[in-house]
Amino acid sequence: MSTLHYQTGFGNSWATEALPGALPVGRNSPQICPYGLYAEQLSGTAFTAPRADNRRSWLYRIRPAAAQQPFEPYEGIVDWLNTFGDGPVTPNPLRWDPQPVPEQATDFIHSIRTWAGHGSPDEHAGVSINLYAANRSMQDSYFYNADGEMLIVPQEGRLRLATELGLIDIEPCEIAVIPRGVRFRVLLIDSSARGYLLENFGAALRLPELGPIGSNCLANARDFQTPVSWYEDIEGDFTLYAKFTGGFWRARTDHSPLDVVAWHGTHAPYKYDLRRFNAIGSISYDHPDP
């Protein structure tokens, strides 16, 4: 696959276009957008959220996001759960073998299995901890998660995340975050892929304050990478899957939803190379808490 390009930084207000002049200048929603595109705002927070916490992006796409058939309940994803039960919870230590790669053809979203969690999408608080093991790319299908953002941690096999806002390639020792509501599909670069998925129901992930460490170290903002604009303009028989309030839905669409030609804003996917993490630790003796 071709080498991808990224924008660097964390929490920035980005601006990128796949065609010259596709981004409107000086306004978000002109009466007529360049190239006849449709202007839409994708919100990751309430629009009244404080500026420092507000997450939203303006997308300029070939067709409206609502141009699809109505959603219907979908029962085909059975192991991705958001109901964690009331116990009892064992005090015994537990460990599990790696999730086996399935024998039958299984794509990313159909391979996700929940192992632990707390909170719920309804409360907008908590997380679910999941594993995935896939041996097929998402073919003619797309997905978005309305319940929370998704932190993907590959353990084996490389992935290409084709999102509305651009392409991201990740491999073991890298992580990626897909924000709430962003449409995407997962392509396998290798024959199979396995790893972890954290679903965050609460506020968007952010970098912690450094305190007495100072201005640098740990995860530096410059090492985070956000994709540049990319789009596909294809027609066919496609399926859009959605996760909403813990349930799964699907809708038919006659075109790819990844048709955003340009965008700007703060609500966007990103990746990070864990090998660039600058650790701070005890260098003389003993071990500090925790």
Q: Per residue in 11-32, pLDDT tens?
A: 999 999 999 999 999 999 999 9
pLDDT of residue 280: 85
> What's the rounded Cα separation, in Å, for the pair 290 and 281?
12
- Marked catalytic residue, from 5, 255, 264, 287: 287
Domain membership of residue 281 (yes or no) is: no
Residue 151 CA to residue 26 CA, distance in Å, equals 34
Judge contact between 34 and 24, C-beta under 8 A. Answer: yes
CATH code for position 211: 2.60.120.10
For residue 157, is it left (φ>0), alpha (ψ between -120 and 50) or beta? left
Please indicate, yes or no, if residue 121 is contained in any of the structural domains: yes
CB-based contact 166:232 (threshold 8 Å) = no
- Count of Cβ atoms closer than 10 Å to residue 168 Cβ: 24
> Residue 181 falls within a domain, yes or no?
yes
**pTM summary value:** 0.95
Q: Which domain holds residue 57?
A: 6-276
Residue 130 lies in a domain: yes
Which one, of 252, 253, 255, 251, lies nearest residue 235 by Cα?
A: 255
Q: Work out the pLDDT band at 1, boundaries 50, 70, 90.
A: low
Total domains in the fold of the chain: 1
Within a domain: 239: yes
Question: Average pLDDT for residues 220-227, to the nearest whole number?
Answer: 97
- Token reading at 164: 């509305």
Asked if residue 289 has pLDDT above 80, the reply is: no
Whether 290 maps to a domain, the answer reads no
* Count of residues making up the chain: 290
In a domain, residue 288? The reply is no
pLDDT digits 0-9 by tens, 242-275: 999 999 999 999 999 999 999 999 999 999 999 9
Tell me whether residue 286 is in a domain: no
255 catalytic? Reply is no
Each residue's pLDDT tens digit, 130-182? 999 999 999 999 999 999 999 999 999 999 999 999 999 999 999 999 999 99
